[in-house]
Amino acid sequence: MLKFSKSQSTVAHNVLVATRFNSTKLLMRSRIVAPSFQHLRTLHNTSAIYQKSHLSRQPIGGSESQRHGSKTSRRFENVEFNAPLSIAFFLIVGGLSYYIFENQKKKMDAEQQKESRKGYGTPQIGGQPFELIDQDGRAFTDKDMLGKFSIVYFGFSHCPDICPDELDKLGCWLDELQKDRIELQPVFVTCDPARDSPEVLKEYLKDFHNSIIGITGTYAQIKQMCKQYRVYFSTPENVKPGQEYLVDHSIFFYLMDPEGKFITILGRNLDEVSGAEKIRESIWEYKRTH
Q: Which residues are annotated as a binding site?
A: 159, 163, 249
Nearest Cα neighbor of 167 from 212, 232, 133, 217 is 212
- Count other C-beta atoms under 10 Å from residue 74's C-beta: 14
Binding of another protein at residue 157 (CB under 8 A)?
Answer: yes
Our measurement of the distance from residue 188's CA atom to the centroid of its chain's CA atoms, rounded to an integer in Å, reads: 34
Least Å distance between CB 201 and another protein?
Answer: 11
- Among residues 199, 207, 259, 281, the one that binds another protein under rule CB under 8 A: 207
**Which of 147, 189, 137, 144 has its CA nearest to residue 167?**
189
One of 80, 228, 245, 286 touching another protein (CB under 8 A):
245
Stretch that binds another protein, among 11-19, 104-112, 133-141, 153-161 (CB under 8 A): 153-161
3-state secondary structure of 45: helix
Q: Which of 79, 22, 269 is nearest to 277 (CA)?
A: 269
Contact call for residues 255 and 265 (beta carbons, < 8 A): yes
Strands 262-266 and 131-134: unpaired
Q: In angstroms, what is the minimal distance from the CB of 202 to another protein?
A: 12
The two counts, helices (H) then strands (E), for the chain are: 10, 9
Q: Does 158 bind another protein (CB under 8 A)?
A: yes
Residue from the set 220, 242, 269, 290 that interacts with another protein by CB under 8 A: 242
Q: Which residues lie across from 176 on neighbouring strands?
A: none
**Options 60, 161, 179, 289; binder of another protein; rule CB under 8 A:** 161
Q: How many residues does the chain have?
A: 290
- The verdict on 160 binding another protein (CB under 8 A) reads yes
Q: Which is nearer to another protein, 200 or 279 (CB)?
A: 200
- Please list, residue by residue across 222-236, b when 16 or more beta carbons sit within 10 angstroms of its beta carbon and e when fewer do: bbbbbebbebebebe
Give 204 or 229: the residue with its C-beta nearer to another protein: 204
Confirm or reject binding of residue 235 to another protein (CB under 8 A).
Answer: no
Report the relative pairing of strands 139-141 and 149-155 from DSSP bridges: unpaired
Site string for another protein, 166-205 (x = CB under 8 A): -------------------------------------xx-
> Per-residue x/- mask for another protein, residues 6 to 45, rule CB under 8 A?
----------------------------------------
Stretch that binds another protein, among 103-111, 175-183, 244-252, 278-286 (CB under 8 A): 244-252
SS3 47: helix
Q: Does 164 bind another protein (CB under 8 A)?
A: yes
Annotated binding site for Cu cation: 159, 163, 249
Which of 28, 48, 85, 246 is the binder for another protein (CB under 8 A)?
A: 246
Q: Which residues lie closer than 8 Å to 42 by C-beta, 6 or more apart?
A: 30
Site of interaction with another protein (CB under 8 A) = 157-158, 160-161, 164, 203-204, 206-207, 242, 244-246
